[in-house]
Amino acid sequence: MIMKTRFAAHWILLAGLLALAGCSVVPEPQADLTRYYVLAGSPVSATPTENGLKLGLKKIILPPYLEKGSIVIRRGENELTYNDYARWAEPLEDGVARLVRNHLLANPRVGRVFTEGFPFDQDRDFDVAITINRCEGVSQGGLTVARFAAVVEITAPSAEGKLVSRRTVGPLEVAWDGRDYGALVQALSKAVGSLGDEILAALPAR
């Protein structure tokens, strides 16, 4: 009887030790290392004017490889890397549209900028379509830059959509150290500002 009691006690003690050991190996929760970035430019300070140009900004088109949410680094002509810990805080096309719209509104030539679904009761002078071809970091050989390229088309807002102007922007390259993602996004923001300047230069005079 004593042996059975000792045997039972031994297994109870062993089970307790195993339970404690199991608790001790449960990993502690780790801090989320993901960082989220947003394109940023100067805020709009100009008051919209009724006699300025009324523009329609169409939905910005991206190549599929830029739609994944991660900031893209190009390692070669055919090689891309995605850093899951460096992500866009908003869809990239929305960020570009916001910066372009603000840049246009800050110019006294522009009175209104409508985004697509345009209001039916509001006439527009021109529509602006932007196709992004590059918006990424480049780390290839000894080259480390932020690279941005796009095509801009300005059309009449009629059903026929007559082409008024078409121009290729870039590729624009801004120096980058190859490591700091915040600096990369700042450089891409600067490039998007240059895109806004190109659009203003392409707008016909009234």
Give per-residue pLDDT as tens, 123-159: 899 999 999 999 999 998 888 999 999 999 999 987 7
Using the 8-state DSSP alphabet, how is residue 204 labeled?
P
List the alpha helices (DSSP H) in 64-171: 92-105
Confidence (pLDDT) at 166: 94
The predicted model gives 155-167 an average pLDDT of 86
Predicted TM-score (pTM) of the model is 0.80
Which comes out higher in pLDDT, residue 49 or 65?
A: 65
pLDDT band at 191 (very low <50, low <70, confident <90, very high): very high
| Residue keyed to tokens 């810990």 | 85
pLDDT tens-digit profile of 60-102?
Answer: 999 999 999 999 999 988 999 999 999 999 999 999 999 999 9
User: In terms of Cα–Cα distance, which of 82, 81, 99 is closest to 90?
Assistant: 99
Q: Say whether pLDDT at 185 is over 80.
A: yes
For the chain, the average pLDDT equals 85
Residue 14, burial from CB neighbour count under 10 angstroms (0-12, 13-18, 19+)? exposed
Question: Residue 117, exposed/middle/buried by CB under 10 A (0-12, 13-18, 19+)?
Answer: exposed
Domains and CATH numbers, the chain: 35-202 (3.40.50.10610)
